[in-house]
């Protein structure tokens, strides 16, 4: 039989009633003739509770023991769903990440999947017609035999990786929304659900603020060509909506110039004034930040004739204070006169593979934003997107302006 992976997030399994609803979705696909692996998250709020307990037990907790604790949330969900499925007369068993096995690196709380052996799951399909209910978000570091976790949102990555390992026909990611939208409907009520979106576009949207999927799950799907649907678990299991298909660009017949508008409120801007303009200064600034695992995004350098330069860049808002401390410690090596910064910034991005073949896409946006009185602090571009940094107060106005400009309001 063809194989299918179904992933359900925390809100989808928040109560026993919702777990029963999940089971009805699984039953529908079993009746459609699929061998099924279900990947589940912890029940809504449970991971936060477990993290809180770890911090209460030991403020400077050991990362490996932290993973052992927080991984237990998914174990509970997997067992409960297997019980409900068996009560419905469906053969099912729960699997923990280490039992599959899902092998990962040893970066506890942020591990990366190294390999998955799908042999045991496939044997369960073929020998016992068994539905595999797998704990998302976790795996095992083989040399140390310690449980690891993949970071927040890691169940998406688990699901796509399992789909690749067992040769699944597709991977359905069930969430509390019915697909991927042109932008956040809470900001733009006219936002539309997309029928299809290219892997590259989804990767950009996920990395630029859209919360629908974890970035690494999209990377894996693109690498292994796993067709992935984003669907709603709150639909009627008997008549679910199709959701949004994430697929190869070639599978989309008619591509818009701009597919979506994403935004990220968690942005901070740092400017180093009168930095000595000589070889190695950029490394002196950005290497200490990289070593501290602080992600630097937009970078602008403005040189002057007197061998001094101003360098502006952005970091996550949560890392603003730590980044400042690191830079002040390195001030003598960098040679800047003073540091200025603010956290009241937002990054707004327009994404679309159609930008490759159309000129002036970003220029139109700059003109439209200027007409609305919105000042742009920084700009970055790539082949299929551009991003601007603006004051947070103008977020909604900028998003709505761009959404209308590129025709995304149209039915």
Query: How crowded is residue 277: how many other Cβ atoms within 10 Å of its Cβ?
Result: 16
Q: Are 141 and 104 in contact (CB under 8 A)?
A: yes
Confidence of residue 35 (pLDDT cuts 50, 70, 90): very high
Q: Is 10 annotated as a binding residue?
A: yes
Average pLDDT over the chain reads 93
271 carries a ligand binding annotation: no
Tens digits of residue pLDDT in 312-346:
999 998 899 999 999 999 888 888 888 999 998 99
Q: Which tokens sit at 364?
A: 């139109």
In this structure, the number of other CB atoms found within 10 A of the CB of residue 305 comes to 6
Question: What confidence score (pLDDT) does residue 356 get?
Answer: 85
Is beta strand 244-247 parallel, antiparallel or unpaired with respect to 196-198?
Answer: parallel
- CA 338, CA 314: separation in Å to the nearest integer? 16
User: Is 8 marked as a binding-site residue?
Assistant: yes
**Token code pair at residue 310:** 């101003």
Angle at which helices 320-329 and 281-291 cross, to 10°:
130
pLDDT at residue 269 tops 70 = yes
Band of residue 101 on the pLDDT scale cut at 50, 70, 90: very high
Rounded to whole angstroms, the Cα distance separating 387 from 297 reads 10
Q: Was 170 annotated as part of a binding site?
A: no
Q: Are 125 and 44 in contact (CB under 8 A)?
A: no
Q: What sign results for the dihedral spanned by CA atoms 143, 76, 45, 56? A: negative
Per-residue confidence (pLDDT) for residue 65, from 0 to 100:
96
Task: Flag whether 175 is marked binding.
Answer: yes
Q: Is 196 annotated as a binding residue?
A: no
**Is 258 labelled a binding residue?**
no
Token pair belonging to 307? 């061998």
> Does residue 88 contact residue 126 with C-beta atoms inside 8 Å?
no
Q: Per the annotation, does 45 bind a ligand?
A: no
pTM (2 d.p.) = 0.86
The better pLDDT of the pair 65, 332 is held by: 65
3-state helix, strand, coil in the chain (%, to 5): 40, 25, 35
Domains of the chain, each with CATH number or no CATH: 3-249 (3.40.1160.10), 261-405 (3.30.2130.10)
74 is known to lie in a ligand binding site: yes
47 is in an annotated binding site: yes
The DSSP output letter for 374 is: P
């Amino acid at each position: 039989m063809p194989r299918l992976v179904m992933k359900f997030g925390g809100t989808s399994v928040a109560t026993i009633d919702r777990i029963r609803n999940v089971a009805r979705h699984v039953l529908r696909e079993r009746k459609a003739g699929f061998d099924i692996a279900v990947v589940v998250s912890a029940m809504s709020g449970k991971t936060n509770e477990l993290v809180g307990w770890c911090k209460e037990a030991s403020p400077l907790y050991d990362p490996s023991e932290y993973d052992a604790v927080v991984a237990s949330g998914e174990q509970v969900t997997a067992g409960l769903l297997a019980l409900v499925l068996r009560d419905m007369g469906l053969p099912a068993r729960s699997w923990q990440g280490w039992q599959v096995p899902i092998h990962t690196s040893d970066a506890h709380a942020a591990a990366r999947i190294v390999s998955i052996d799908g042999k045991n799951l496939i044997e369960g399909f073929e020998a016992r017609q068994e539905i595999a209910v797998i704990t998302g978000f976790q795996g095992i570091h083989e040399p140390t035999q310690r449980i690891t976790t993949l970071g927040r949102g890691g169940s998406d990555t688990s699901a796509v990786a399992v789909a690749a390992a067992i040769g699944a026909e597709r991977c359905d990611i069930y969430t509390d929304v019915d697909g991927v939208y042109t932008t956040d409907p809470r900001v733009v009520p006219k936002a539309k659900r997309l029928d299809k979106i290219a892997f590259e576009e989804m990767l950009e949207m996920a990395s630029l603020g859209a919360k629908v999927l974890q970035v690494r799950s999209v990377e894996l799907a693109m690498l292994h060509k796993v067709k992935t649907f984003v669907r709603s678990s709150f639909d009627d299991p008997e008549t679910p909506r199709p959701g949004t298909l994430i697929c190869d660009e070639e599978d989309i017949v008619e591509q818009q110039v701009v597919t979506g508008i994403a935004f990220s409120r968690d942005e901070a801007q740092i400017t180093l004034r009168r930095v000595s303009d000589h070889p190695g200064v950029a490394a002196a600034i950005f290497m200490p930040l990289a070593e501290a695992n602080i992600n630097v995004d937009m970078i602008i350098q403005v040189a002057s004739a007197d061998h001094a330069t101003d360098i502006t860049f952005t970091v996550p808002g949560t890392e603003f204070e730590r980044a400042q401390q690191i830079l002040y410690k390195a001030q003598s090596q960098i040679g800047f006169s003073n540091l200025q910064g603010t956290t009241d910034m937002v990054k707004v991005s327009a994404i679309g593979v159609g930008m490759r073949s159309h000129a002036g896409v970003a220029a139109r946006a700059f003109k439209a934003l200027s007409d609305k009185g919105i000042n742009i602090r920084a700009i970055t571009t790539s082949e299929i997107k551009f991003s601007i940094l603006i004051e947070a107060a103008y977020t909604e106005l900028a998003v709505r302006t761009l959404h209308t400009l590129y025709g995304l309001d149209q039915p």
